[in-house]
Amino acid sequence: MVGTEKAQQHVWLWLTKRPARMAEFSEWLAKLGLHWPDNLMAMTSVTSQKTVGRIAQLGKVRCKHRGLSVEPLWSSVTLPLDGMAWCIVGGESGSYAQPFHLDWARDVVRQCRRAGVAPFVKQLGAAPMDGGTSLFLADSHGGDWSEWPEDLRVREFPPVHLLKSGTLNPEW
């Protein structure tokens, strides 16, 4: 369980496509006199500008830490990053993967840097495109960063002190 003493050494990620329901759950907890565990990061997924509205809903979750999973990213996005600690970005994997333009990932990383949010490029997916050119990678989901352009080899984590004061293992 997230709230147990042994679990405090971990940071737990709770990802949903329905952050409004997560916000309702956090309100229910509060009414019971319970609080959201400090080592549980509430996250939502964003796949295009059409789903960016989920971020405002995530902001209503009564929690200490929030993050985004911007994957699979299907278009360019402008992200409201206030209140976010972490942003994971990546392309789609699988046989029917849609193209993932690497400039979209570069832009997300730039947005994160401007906002002071830790960016993490997870994978380039099965159909990465760089400057209009398809990249053919040996790793079928684009997860081997030795095959990536160097500027996208970005895997940062939120600073440990932001996630848990004192007891968290800094090597997580």
Task: Output the pLDDT for position 172.
Answer: 31
| pLDDT confidence tier of residue 63, bands split at 50, 70 and 90 | very high
Of 2-16, 26-40, 50-64, least confident by mean pLDDT is: 2-16
74-98 pLDDT, tens digit per residue, is: 999 999 999 999 999 999 999 999 9
Which pLDDT band, with edges at 50, 70 and 90, does 163 fall under? low
Question: Does position 2 have pLDDT exceeding 70, yes or no?
Answer: no
Domain-wise residue ranges, the chain: 6-163
Residue 165 has pLDDT above 50, yes or no: no
Return all residues near 91 (Cβ < 8 A) that are at least 6 apart: 71, 72, 73, 97, 100, 105, 123, 124, 125, 126, 127, 128, 142
Cβ pair 138, 147 in contact under 8 A: yes
